[in-house]
Amino acid sequence: MAKLAFLGLGVMGYPMAGHLKAAGHDVTVYNRTIAKADAWVAEHGGSARATPREAAEGAEFVMTCVGNDDDLRNVCIGPDGAFGGMSQSATLVGHTTVCAKVTRELYTAEKEQSLGFLDAPISGGQAGVENGVLSIMCGGDQSEYDAAQPIIQVYSKICRRIGDSGAGQLTKMSNQIAIAGLVQGLSEALHFAEKAGLDGRSVVEVISQGAAGSWQMDNRHETMLEDHFDYGFAVDWMRKDLGICLDTANETGESLPVTALVDQFYKDVQQLGGGRWDTSSLLKRLRVLD
């Protein structure tokens, strides 16, 4: 059993922390909205603290799952940040999707305090986290990954160190780039089938067994056809992630034309009031445009 702190109890963090407690670990939680932390403790046991620093005191591993670059900086290096409460040799595992620059900044700051840092962004959505089968891509030192991997494995289907600090975030960018194109393609295919007078379910039943098949098709086509878009990763968060991808590509001189186009399509969805709809709502955009 390890002594852990979990910072951030949103859609993903709440069940992740729950999996750790169910596995027998000693878990202390922090959440910006105190009521959410109190609700987690009431459901799972453990304890809650008022600041990240207090939650991190004495923890062997500190896991974070917060919103964006600034949120991660604040829970790590703010006046009440976790770094101030962590003991030497403790490791922070950052599950938040942020830019690689922030990851390397925090990695350097941790090393100056003889602490460990892994960037470990996640993929798998709400269903993946609830079932404990996330895909987790990690960057950082091998020794720190080896120590943290058994903890991370509690809520993952696959957990892999890709390379040095920042490699996890760069891999997550590749993941989001791939998803953006896949969801747009699936949306166009379903919309095309609808306009052609075909039964969407019958179409998917056939094409999903061939080269067109994908996780998105298997897990999202039914809700898409039903015009329901509250079953996964929100458009607001996807645009945040795609912005990171596009900024990084600009820095490295790469071209991401499809990603840039789909990012603008998600902007259209936001303007329709769909910022909290899931990413498959690209189909909704096409229907509205008819």
Q: Tell me: the pLDDT tens digits for 26-78?
A: 999 999 999 999 999 999 999 999 999 999 999 999 999 999 999 999 999 97
Q: Going by CATH, does the domain composed of 3-164 fall within 3.30.9.10?
A: no
At residue 131, the pLDDT reads 95
At residue 290, the pLDDT reads 87
Mean pLDDT, rounded, of the chain:
96
CA distances from 276 to 213, 252, 256 (A): 26, 31, 25
User: pTM (2 decimals)?
Assistant: 0.93
Q: How confident is the model at residue 17 (pLDDT cuts 50, 70, 90)?
A: very high
Active-site positions read: 172
Share above pLDDT 70 across residues of the chain, in percent, rounded to a whole number: 100
How do the domains of the chain map onto residue ranges?
3-164, 170-289
Q: How confident is the model at residue 126 (pLDDT cuts 50, 70, 90)?
A: confident
CB 52 within 8 A of CB 76: yes
CA distances from 222 to 188, 201, 256 (A): 15, 7, 29
Q: How confident is the model at residue 79 (pLDDT cuts 50, 70, 90)?
A: confident
Q: Which pLDDT tens digit goes with each residue over 136-159?
A: 999 999 999 999 999 999 999 999
Closest CA to 36 of 55, 9, 74, 3: 9
Please report which helix (H) or strand (E) contains residue 31, including its range: none
Closest CA to 123 of 114, 115, 133: 133
- CA gap 186, 239 in Å, rounded: 18
Class of domain 170-289: mainly alpha
